[in-house]
Every structure is written in C-alpha cells, then in structure tokens.
Amino acid sequence: MTVDVVLGIDIGTSGLRIAATDQANALKAMSVAPIAAPLGNGGRLWQDPTLWWDALQAAFKSLDLTGLTVRAIAVDGTSGTILPIDADGTPRALASMYNDVCEAPQLALIAAVAPRETAALGSTSPLARAMELSGKGTRILHQADWIMGRLAGRFDVTDENNALKSGYDPVARQWPAWIRETGFDTSLFPEVVPAGTRIGTITPGMAAELNLPADTAIVTGTTDGCAAFLASGASEAGDGVTSLGTTLTLKLLSAKPVFAPDFGIYSHRIGDQWLAGGASNTGGAAIAQFFSKDDLSRLTPQLDPDHPTGLDFYPLPKPGERFPVNDPNFQPRLTPRPADDRVFFQALLEGIARIEAEAYAKLGELGATPLASIRTAGGGAANAAWTRIRLRTLGVPERPSLSEHAAVGTARLAWRGLGHVN
C-alpha cells in the first residue's frame, strides 16, 4: 500500500528543491539540485531559464518516491523573475531576474500613473522589465508560471502572489486599468487565479519523463517568500513568523490587507486571508559589528533573560530604518555601552525584541489582525535565551514551525488544489 503525497517545487536563487509531503504535512521525501548563478552586467541580472528545467530534471532523478503516490504538484519561484515566451512556451530571451534593475524610461512611465499602494513600483519593478521585454514574445510569464506551464502544457495562467509585483490588484482581483496607461498590453500577462488552484493535469509526455502518475494534478503555486511563510505551518489570522537573520523580517497573516508604501508594506492574498510583511534593518548585522561568532558562542550561555538590563537600545548597523520607523536618517541607539560584554549583548537582543514587538504593533495599527502567536525562522531561532526575551516582549505564545523549506509550504498549496486545506 502506498502513501498519497503531493510535491512542492521551490526554485531558489542558487538551487531547486522538491519536497514530498503527505496530507498531514509530514515530509516523506526531498531532493535538491543546484542552479548556476545569473549573468550580471551593470546592475542587470539575467538567467537562462533552461537551467531551471535542468535542475528540476536532476532533482527528480534523485527524488526517492518509493512507496509514495504523487497526486499533485505546485511550484514557487523567486518573486519578480519574468521571461518572454512563444505560444508553445519556448523562451524568447533570457529571464530577467527578481533583482534585475530596469531602465529609467519604463520606471518613469509607471511612476506617472501608478497608485502609491501598488507593489509594481521600485527600481526592480517586474512591470517595467516586462515593458522592456514586450516585443520579444507572445506572452510574459513569471518563473513559477513557466515551470508549471511545462508540466501542465498551458502557459496562460499565473497565481495572485506572483502577479502582485507585476501590478496585479489583489483586492479587485484584476489587472488594473492604469497599467494600460503606461502603453503596456496587459494581454501579454497570463490570467490570474488564486494560489492553490488546480489548473489541469500533467501532460502524458511529462508524466512519462518524470515517472509520475498520469492523473497528477497541476496546481498554482506562489512566490518563494510566501512559500517560506506557509512552510512554517501558520494558518490562522494573527499568526506571525519572524525571520531572525542579517536583518529582521516579519510576516503576519491577517483578515484584512495592509498597503503602506511608506513602510514598504503590501499584502499577498492567500485564500480569503492576507499576508502582510515588513522588514527592519536591525538584526544579525547590527550584532556582528560588535561580536564575532566565537564571542556569541561564549556569551550566549551567560544570558539572563529573566533579569532585563533596563537599557533602551535600538541596534542598527548604520543610520537608516525602514520599519517600524521609516527614516533614512534614523540613528542607532547603542550607548552607554556596559563594561560587561554579557550585559551589552543581552541589551542588544532586548533592543531587537522591542523593535520586533513595535513592528507587529505597527502592522496592527495599519489595519492588520493583531499578533496572536509567533513562529521563528533564521539563525536566531536557535537561541533559547533570546526566544524567552522575545516572548516576554511580544506577549504572545510561541508555536513550533513545521519546516524552514519553502518547498514544504508550496506543497500545502498543492494539497489545497485537491480540496484539502491543511
């Protein structure tokens, strides 16, 4: 007897990962394949999309599905990576990467007509880059769309999350009229459907090539960032996920969307809920300017989270903050420095915890569902003393994370496409 599973495919910046999960979200198999770095020149970043497909084939070859029956597949990709294709899906140029800096004329056209709340603004705007590519194919797809299209044999659909930075309006659920005012033909973009929508069945050729069942469903996926949030297991409004890395990144599932361009905040639509997020410049980089990894290993066991230092620090690696304060000249607050390194280190962690709490509170002030629980990702998640400091400051319970692999989050959407919300 075999176990039914779905596959979540995560296309990252340096590799592709496949996760097979059962209906309880338990990981049953996983494989990884590398992807060569993009080509760069003067801020422009391009990649041959055939590298993604080569990585997918390599990952399938090393994926052990013994005793497992694949029922569905969903794909996530880097947010804002796009490519022009012909009607049969053949790429007509190199893919423009998510961090490819586009040309000023297209940016100016968008800035002249776009509402401030759209996610299509900024120097790496996918919409602006799509305008550059509009004469090179019959359609312009996002990275995940193209992989999904090759599996399903159709290249005319995308999901609401990948479409967001291309200018899609997730509230009205349509490509807005203002895009046409830029001169761009929105018919070049695919039809948009909710993430987790079944859009077809794997083609016979793909089923044979990848050794998958002929009735494997193909389901719309999401972006890599949304997939990482879903991988945590968060599912209820008020569930927050904090990533403690070089910087501090927060995502909050909300019953209502938040669009606050002054803070770089927009919301992805996931079912009938919204994923709002923000990022502070505080984090590991602010700590690393004072302490080495060896210092942190030595000082961490000495932390005393039940006795706060009383110091009011705002750790930043340099002046400038994005969220919960939007001020390019915002100054770090790191004095007076205690003579005891343990006290100084703890005061830095307390400061970051306060920033985290203020950031979630700001999301609530902007209209999001108030924070009700927290999950943690990133290197700082392993610091138990810091976790106790944060939980006391946040005032909400901690929940265990399901996984840190975005592919697992995308697999949750594959199950949704089969009618199972888990």
Q: How far apart are CA 182 and CA 186, in angstroms?
A: 10
Interior CA angle at 127 toward 180 and 116, to 5°? Answer: 80
Q: What is the pLDDT of residues 240-297, one digit of tens each?
A: 999 999 999 999 999 999 999 999 999 999 999 999 999 999 999 999 999 999 999 9
Between strands 68-77 and 217-223, the pairing is parallel
Residue 167 per-residue DSSP state: T
> Could you tell me the pLDDT band of residue 103, with boundaries at 50, 70 and 90?
confident
pLDDT greater than 90 at residue 26: yes
pLDDT greater than 90 at residue 422: no
- Residues 368, 168, 197, 71, Cα dihedral to 10°: -100
Q: What is the pLDDT of residues 302-355, one digit of tens each?
A: 999 999 999 999 999 999 999 999 999 999 999 999 999 999 999 999 999 999
Rounded to two decimals, the pTM is 0.94
Q: How far apart are CA 128 and CA 291, in angstroms?
A: 41
Interior CA angle at 67 toward 232 and 414, to 5°? Answer: 35
Return the pLDDT at 347. Answer: 98
- Alpha-carbon distances of 393 from 296, 310, 338, rounded to whole Å: 22, 13, 22
Q: How far apart are CA 173 and CA 91, in angstroms?
A: 27
> Which residue reads 């294709």 in tokens?
85
Q: What is the pLDDT of residues 194-222, one digit of tens each?
A: 999 999 999 999 999 999 999 999 999 99
The DSSP result for 235-266, as a single string, is: -STTEEEEEESSSEEEEEEESS---BGGGTB-
> Could you tell me the pLDDT band of residue 386, with boundaries at 50, 70 and 90?
very high
Return the pLDDT at 170. Answer: 97
pLDDT greater than 90 at residue 1: no
Q: How far apart are CA 9 and CA 60, in angstroms?
A: 10
Peptide bond into 317 cis (omega under 30): no
Does residue 294 sit in helix, strand or coil? helix
Which amino acid type is present at position 380?
A: G
pLDDT greater than 90 at residue 41: no
Q: The sheet that has 44-47: what strands, in order across it?
A: 39-41, 44-47, 95-96, 82-85, 139-142
Return the pLDDT at 104. Answer: 87
Could you give all domains of the chain from N- to C-terminal order, each with its CATH number? 3-228+406-417 (3.30.420.40), 236-394 (3.30.420.40)
pLDDT greater than 90 at residue 421: no
Strand partners of residue 3: 68
